[in-house]
Structure 1
């Protein structure tokens, strides 16, 4: 009788979630259109701000009517445009990665920064700088992919050792432990091989060093990774209702998880190779997006990409305004937003342990 009631309750919950899926397409469309417009405006403001402020009209001229003889146009084209575009792409990558992780695992605490993915990528970058000092941007990105996979494997491997199984809080604790371990090893490598100054940027998180070569490498990742994420969106929606429900609907859950994991590792690895360990975007943005558009990942993933890019562009602007003319690490700005949110979620989920 108890099992029947529980099964009935789960069926009712699934039906209510399926109804919710069809609830907010108009709002989601508005977020995509308005969010994209605000993102482009924010990028323009980001390009105009710096050691020497440049008005938006000059930014427009430099983008669409570039004159190589003007110093301001050169600054915009060579330094500020790659930085603004990099912020938008990195924010989108991390937000989409977090959304997929939360949907596949049904874990509200899942995100690249908490599940060891970003720490693993930063660890691999430390190894690259120590043992392969002439590493190219492409090779650095490949190292980052491998490290991201290593970090995620360690977290889920340690978390699965628990007798009571993988709970959100236990995964978060495993992620914190693995992250601290990898950071400690990375620091030891940096000191031993005298590359601390080279890799300090990746540990702090920032976009000041973004150049066109990074953007050129990120664009194929964006096309392939985000396209595959959108293709998987419907399957992630079904999987987010529960693995048994997904199997009952004929979904090949193992294949979906493998492809989703590949997308997460590729997007996060690319993001870390450019901006370092920028945390909490993959945690906060998917929750915010689900609150606004419902639980359909066909809307969550593209909206998360727009909102994630917008958040990091704004955080990068804030990093330059907190203590001018010096720059605050952008990872510190996102942590100010993300840490209270993480503690709130951990406290809420901890009640269910």
Structure 2
């Protein structure tokens, strides 16, 4: 996918700032020859912080910024003056970003809200100045604490698209055509497999100024969970969707079998996907008559279904009504 502006996976190396050392200064002023210790504390090292930004849709801004270093804390000084804290470094990411430890693969945290901040690498604490160590038996301590070392971490930032509805289907099932028909999104549409190479998002307007977000996920093929085709890279984007809208063309040889294959690929990737609400849309239905639709309906999987045509608009409003009903239901169940 060279040249694509959609980047959903980056590996970065982060280093927080070292804490500044405490001061060992002894007060020496005119007429105060033995003023005692007055060394201040060192400043805190800078944090590396990950912050959610709803205006970002991709990780492309991090593609060429693989090293992020925060500032070091400054040393303490006399008169118990603390050193300045090191400069924090903020990494802004789109909502739906997951941070993982690059070495262990452990999920560290997820960013799902605008403005949400999580410290990825914590800055070292500043060392205490020598005035903290003054005692009745040691009036002039000539030592202070060093600052804590910096923290280094190699992290993977992985984007999972946030959408209310995720389109699931084989290549050329009509997913991009539907998204273009119901939203202002302009995905590439052509009559050959794997036209869609990146997830596309569109805002679908509903009744009474309501709306929901629909995501067109690149087509899945049988064996996608094993790395076949291009589905493996994008299966994770489906994990964030509240509703899975399965799309199968009306001219398919066996709609029920295709549905089972798609469902199996999702289950093999992540069994929790089967807990999501599901709707089946039979696309390219403009050439079907009422009798044939009734006959086909008796052989469909036992989930809510609708026959649609993105070209003529047939069944589109009914599909929107079904989606909104399921969205309301999923909100109530949370």
TM-score computed with the length of structure 1 as normaliser = 0.22
Kindly indicate whether structure 1 or structure 2 has the higher relative contact order, using CA contacts under 8 Å at least 6 residues apart.
1
Larger Rg: 2
